[in-house]
Amino acid sequence: MNEYFSESVDGFQAIRFDGQRLQLIDQRRLPAEEVWLDVGSAEQAGRAITDLVVRGAPAIGITAAYAAVLAARQRGDDLAGWRADMRQLEQARPTAVNLSWAVRRMCEAVEQLGRLDPESLAELAVSIHREDIAANRRMATLGSELIESGSGVLTHCNTGSLATGGIGTALGVIVAGVRDGRIARVFADETRPWLQGSRLTAWELARADIEARVIVEGAAAALMASGQVDWVITGADRIAANGDVANKIGTYALAVLARHHGVRMMVVAPSTTVDADTASGAAIEIEQREAGEIWRAAGLEQAPTGFAAWNPVFDVTPAELIDAIVTEQGVFEPPYRF
């Protein structure tokens, strides 16, 4: 399986599934080393998602789909046990809707069939992966076409091959825009506390031979004031029905800064990230992670004794600050109706 994938078109493949075995590149260890982890059960897959071995909304969804296949092989005829595995898997992270979307799709297939059939579930999981690859390609074209020649762009977090099945969402647009000659300058926010920008986006851009510069988050306002950026381009973890966007913490700040400086804001995400059941961003659960992640990212072995932290890892950007939302179904502009 996975023979549908082409590294030259679709970027690096961070999730490998050969019909039996699931392997994930350990994103916590990039760019220092490329370590692959074997994932043998839905429980292990859930832990890999919680621990950020694999992260990024579409990649989490694809991993969950493959995990459902592993669980079906383990459970045999035990449908109730499999359903319990799926409920557990869905809890691995709360904000990215792609996780529950993928689990629901696998569950619906099982309910239709009335039993566990690992082979047909494997086919479905592979088609979920393939659909994401195709969506990435389409979004890359649509998003890139919005960008005027000679533009500068700033992106946040990691939204490339590591975060998706294919070339990426926001980063896919950026790669296409550079290759089309529309984008002349690329900046990547380092993205605290896990440094997805400086560790992962920089790693992907270097592999793609794209010249770019990393900035610390605090430099975004000065960068925009310098006139070097025309678009902020990000992905999304969940898009509410009214166009509010939950994405990596710091996205909201970039959107506010962008509006102040006359810079446009583009959000790129597959339709699997649009959550029609959530009316607005206020209803999106924002994941909070432990304070220690901030201290470790700061290079400190431990927190000063007793020091607490507020560590939400996503925020909500109001729809009115977003100029365009690009999905594989088209380019949406305010007022958002999907």
Of 151 and 164, nearer to ligand MRU (C-beta) is 164
Active site residue 237: yes
Give the range of 39-47, 155-163, 202-210, 319-327 binding ligand MRU by CB under 6 A: 155-163
Residue 96 binds ligand MRU (CB under 6 A)? yes
- Is position 100 an interface residue for ligand MRU (rule: CB under 6 A)? no
Residue 121 makes contact with ligand MRU by CB under 6 A: no
Using the rule CB under 6 A, give the single segment among 14-22, 124-132, 158-166, 326-334 that binds ligand MRU.
158-166
Question: Could you give the string, one character per residue 288-317, with x where binding to ligand MRU holds by CB under 6 A and - elsewhere?
Answer: -------------------------x----
Tell me: does residue 163 bind ligand MRU (CB under 6 A): yes
List helix spans (H) across 213-304: 220-225, 251-261, 292-297
CA distances from 66 to 206, 256, 291 (A): 29, 38, 31
- Cβ 184 to ligand MRU, closest distance in Å? 23
237 binds ligand MRU (CB under 6 A): yes
Closer residue to ligand MRU, CB minimum distance, 58 or 152: 58
Confirm or reject binding of residue 201 to ligand MRU (CB under 6 A). no
> In this chain, which stretch among 9-17, 104-112, 157-165, 180-188 interacts with ligand MRU, using CB under 6 A?
157-165
Q: β-strand 15-17 against 22-25: which pairing, if any?
A: antiparallel
3-state secondary structure of 138: helix
The answer to whether residue 48 forms part of the interface with ligand MRU (CB under 6 A) is no
Report yes or no: 98 and 56 within 8 Å, Cβ to Cβ. no
Q: Report the C-alpha gap between 8 and 191 in whole angstroms.
A: 27
**CB neighbours of residue 242 within 10 Å:** 18
From residue 106, give the alpha-carbon distance in Å to each of 125, 188, 274: 8, 35, 18
In terms of DSSP bridges, do strands 213-215 and 183-189 run parallel, antiparallel, or are they unpaired? parallel
* Residue 112 DSSP SS3: helix
Number of residues that bind ligand MRU (CB under 6 A): 18
Contacts of 71 (CB under 8 A, 6+ apart): 41, 42, 82, 85, 86, 89
State the catalytic residue, choosing from 230, 237, 275, 323. 237
- Least Å distance, CB 267 to ligand MRU, is 9
Q: What is the DSSP letter of 312?
A: B
Q: Establish if 56 lies at the interface with ligand MRU (CB under 6 A).
A: yes
If the CB atoms of residues 118 and 235 are measured against ligand MRU, the closer one turns out to be: 235
Asked if residue 235 lies in contact with residue 174, where contact means CB atoms within 8 angstroms, the answer is no
159 binds ligand MRU (CB under 6 A): yes
Smallest separation (angstroms) from ligand MRU to the CB of 296: 15
Residues tagged active-site: 237
